[in-house]
Amino acid sequence: MSAVPVPETGGLPVAREAELARLAQVVEALGNGRGSVVEITGEPGIGKTRLATALVDLAARRRLPVARAHAVRGGATPLQVFRDAFEARRGFPRPTGGGGRAFAEFRGRPARWAAGGVLVLDDVHWCDPVSTAALVRLVRSVVSGPFVLALAHRPRQTPPELREALEDGVRAGTVTRIEPGPLDAEAAAALLTGPHASASTAPHTHEPAALREFAGQVCAAAEGNPRHLRLLVAAGWRPGRWPDRPGTDMDGLLREAKPLIAELDALTPPAATAMAAAAVLGSPFRPQDVAQVSGLGLDPTLDVLAELERADLVRPADWSGGLRFRHPVVGHVAYERAGSSVRLRAHHRALDLVTARGGRAAERARHAEHLLGTEGVDAARTLAEGAAEIAARTPATAARWFRLALETIPDREGDRDARTALELACCRALIASGQPEEARARAHELLGDPRAELTDSQTLQAHTVWADAERQLGRYKEATAVVAAALGLLPRPLPDPLPAEAVRLAIEYGLIHVVRGTHEQARTLLREAARAAGGADRADRTVLRVLSALCATHAGDIDEAGPEVTDCARLLDALPDPLAGRTPETLALLGCAELYLERFADAARHLGRGLETADSDAGRPILMHRLLALAMVEQWTGRLDASERRTRQVESLARAIGAEGAVTLARAMRATALVWSRGRSHAAEAVALVEDATTVTPPGQSWWATSATGLLAQARLLAGDAAGCRRTLLEGVGDERLPLVRPFSRPFLLALSATAALECGDRDKAHHLVQAAEVEVGRLGLPVQEAYVHEARARLHAADGEHDAAAKLFTLAARAFRAADMPVQYAWTLAVGAPSCAEAEGLTEALRQLDVAETVARSYGASLVRERVEELRAALSGSDPAAHALGLLSGREREIAELAAEGLRTRDIAERLFLSPRTVETHLFRVYRKLGVSSRLALSTLLRRTG
């Protein structure tokens, strides 16, 4: 053990509030004359030293005597260590005499040799036996005086007698154990961007959602260990390359790995050789393999592996007799520290070993990759075989192996077919691993190379991967053109059975139209391809059927789509996760279809399946669709906060890939969620979210914009701006027949438009729109859409004074929303139907209905519903606080309010007062906000009651 200067304070440790609070209590007790023993224990790199530093700083701020030392392998003699520790800081009493006398003074109780203070001893697991024995005596002594002994150690390497003494002290209450655990994603994000971060550890992103996503992924790879996390980020970690590689910057890895390199440098030469061999083999590994690859022989290898276990560099694996590194990054650092000649020999022996026992191609390819300069074509062929084996699981590694194989294998005329197959496989792996630019360039070059002499099958495959790359890059027009050119090569009608390459081309055709929102253009070909795809593999057949069903849903053909979606869900649920998605496409498409068919629980299950392991670098457009659909499911099923968070994630992802339409839609979703959750006081803020975005994507130009228009119109109506709702719909979808709206949501938007027209005083238009909605919903048979139409018809009955009919329809609508698991809409319908309920069934029943609505709204954080409940309860009870707000109206606002209450339309009011209709609407919106009402009917009732 040797004395060291106290490390400079870099701020408090991240996400260690509980541990710091306990240390503060220890220091506070010391200031009151009570000492203790503090044990700071945990995994290497978990943050023990930072907590020890925090304890030193806490004591120093209170001007308490403090000293610190740490143990070093082969350091100072045991009799000198403690005196050096005391001399590390002024203010701590120095023992008298030489080292032996100093050590002798430690044999007694602390009160006999220390007047008080804090002694922090770090890395005590490396203590020599004499020092360890002294520490055991100190730990087992009862600390009665003002003295704190803090010991930081790794439990796996600490001598058993010291561990036992500390454990006994914890049980007896004389030892305070502080054991920092793994960080979570939020703490990891703070660590990577806070004051502790350096240029080598901060991720290269400024988008909050992207940062949170990256922090969650790298934190999981680091197992929550701060040191491992810093190492991975310094190495340029990427999820698609882990754990095969730590990243792309090996120099950065080694710069950050100085503490770990010090552990490796302390090994004996044979142990270092075995460590390098194990790093070449990869974790987990078998001792006998290490013996063969290292050349040490079995018995010496077993001896040095025992040394590595004692150093806690390797640990027992899950299977009997096997070993693994304590974390994969330890193996990567050991690999990089080994010399190139050592690695080359080890890879050669490892390849011979794996080949001799008939190992898998991927296992052989791991070593062949490093032998291309010596093994030539044989190594390249091994790489190609290994890449094909792992392409579905780890496409980034497969793409690298395919690329290396193509660079090494000679381009001879007799090998053109095999080379073309490798090139196409490489393109697919590049796309799957988030490298579409290179895939696009390779496919384009392949199609333009006259020497390639592509077969018809290879030509279709090359067009498919080219179009796939264009779609991944967001170039939908280019992707459509590429697919159209390829489809022109197929006979029509399509042959039955359809070749596998034609099936994949049809799938790509459908995916392009889905992301563009032009589902109807793909429906005919998809139906034909699905009927002729009997010879394709199961995953391709399933995704083709799901695509066809989704297009049928968009067309409003629920009779065809419903049974097909049910059957596809059954097939998909029977598949394991790696096969379930044919990449994530099938899950995204099926979940969207289920969402539109109002099967919210099924949609959430499929959209969320495997989402936590989704690679954000690959398949971003499909990932974006999954997240968008999931955000809508969460909003409709009452998880408003989750929906809002999800839309922020979508917006960040959409911006990264240039999908402005998705940005607009995500903002519109968030606006609606904010109005529901925060009420009218935040309505203007919520609506403003999408005001700017809608200028980027002109209304009516795409499915994205049309969907965003509907959500924005709903947000305006909920906020009390009925005129703004009508204007948004008219400007966004052309006219009140809603020609650009998908059939599965048209009844809802017609009902929304009808409600807005009614609240603007246009009853005739409201009746017309409700009738149109009833015709549309009759064709669909979707219960939620029918519930929206029932609610709109109920409002019309209430406005006409037909409260018995209105109350029945409000009840039907509320029950349908509850059955569909839409609690917020259920509570809202109960609330708006309460006045009719009071007229038809009495005040007691109406107040009970409001109580239910308030309870549900409170459970789901729907402030808007609670506001409406309070208004209606006050009105029904005869004490309306909103009436007192009349004095807050300006003269012009009161004038417009009175004319509106008389039944004049906006245009009539504008002509009478010589104002523009937009100005009248603005004044009315302010009136509604001030009086706490949401419609002209409510305004008229309020003005009549107050005179």
Q: Is the pLDDT of residue 158 over 70?
A: yes
Look at residue 472 in the predicted model and tell me its pLDDT: 82
Average pLDDT score over residue span 184-197: 75
Report the distance separating Cα 195 and Cα 206, nearest Å. 15
Strands 66-70 and 117-122, sheet pairing: parallel
pLDDT band at 98 (very low <50, low <70, confident <90, very high): very low
Q: Is the pLDDT of residue 105 over 60?
A: no
Look at residue 801 in the predicted model and tell me its pLDDT: 85
Look at residue 884 in the predicted model and tell me its pLDDT: 53
Q: Is the pLDDT of residue 937 over 50?
A: yes
pLDDT band at 217 (very low <50, low <70, confident <90, very high): confident
Determine which of 159-163, 194-198, 357-361 has the lowest per-residue pLDDT on average. 194-198
Per the listing, tokens 């991944």 go with 472
From residue 466, give the alpha-carbon distance in Å to each of 250, 514, 518, 544, 772. 33, 17, 20, 19, 45
Q: Is the pLDDT of residue 947 over 70?
A: no
pLDDT band at 87 (very low <50, low <70, confident <90, very high): very low
Look at residue 482 in the predicted model and tell me its pLDDT: 94
Q: Is the pLDDT of residue 207 over 80?
A: no
In terms of Cβ atoms closer than 10 Å to its own Cβ (0-12, 13-18, 19+), residue 413 is exposed
Average pLDDT score over residue span 606-629: 71
Closest CA to 663 of 710, 635, 695: 695
pLDDT band at 7 (very low <50, low <70, confident <90, very high): very low
pLDDT tens sequence across 873-896: 888 876 555 555 666 677 788 888
Q: Is the pLDDT of residue 62 over 60?
A: yes
Which tops the pLDDT comparison, 554 or 240?
A: 554
Strand partners, 70: 2, 122
pLDDT tens sequence across 409-451: 887 766 788 889 999 999 999 988 888 899 999 999 999 888 7
326's tokens: 């304590």
Calculate what percentage of the chain has a pLDDT beyond 90: 41
Look at residue 410 in the predicted model and tell me its pLDDT: 80
pLDDT band at 539 (very low <50, low <70, confident <90, very high): confident
CB 834 within 8 A of CB 876: yes
Look at residue 941 in the predicted model and tell me its pLDDT: 74
DSSP reduced 3-state for 489: coil
- pTM, two decimals, is 0.70
pLDDT band at 25 (very low <50, low <70, confident <90, very high): very high
Average pLDDT score over residue span 384-406: 90
Q: Is the pLDDT of residue 201 over 70?
A: no
Average pLDDT score over residue span 88-108: 40
DSSP reduced 3-state for 905: coil
Closest CA to 84 of 131, 14, 141: 131
pLDDT tens sequence across 276-333: 999 999 989 999 999 999 999 999 999 999 999 999 999 998 877 789 999 999 999 9
Q: Is the pLDDT of residue 567 over 70?
A: yes
Look at residue 30 in the predicted model and tell me its pLDDT: 87
Look at residue 576 in the predicted model and tell me its pLDDT: 67
Q: Is the pLDDT of residue 123 over 80?
A: yes
Strand partners, 122: 70
What is the DSSP code string of 918-941?
A: HHHHHHHHHHHHHHT--SHHHHHH
Average pLDDT score over residue span 167-182: 93
Sign of CA dihedral 573, 577, 583, 588: positive
**The one-letter amino acid at 370:** H
pLDDT tens sequence across 787-839: 999 999 999 999 888 889 999 999 999 999 999 999 999 999 999 999 999 88
Report the distance separating Cα 737 and Cα 704, nearest Å. 19
Look at residue 643 in the predicted model and tell me its pLDDT: 92
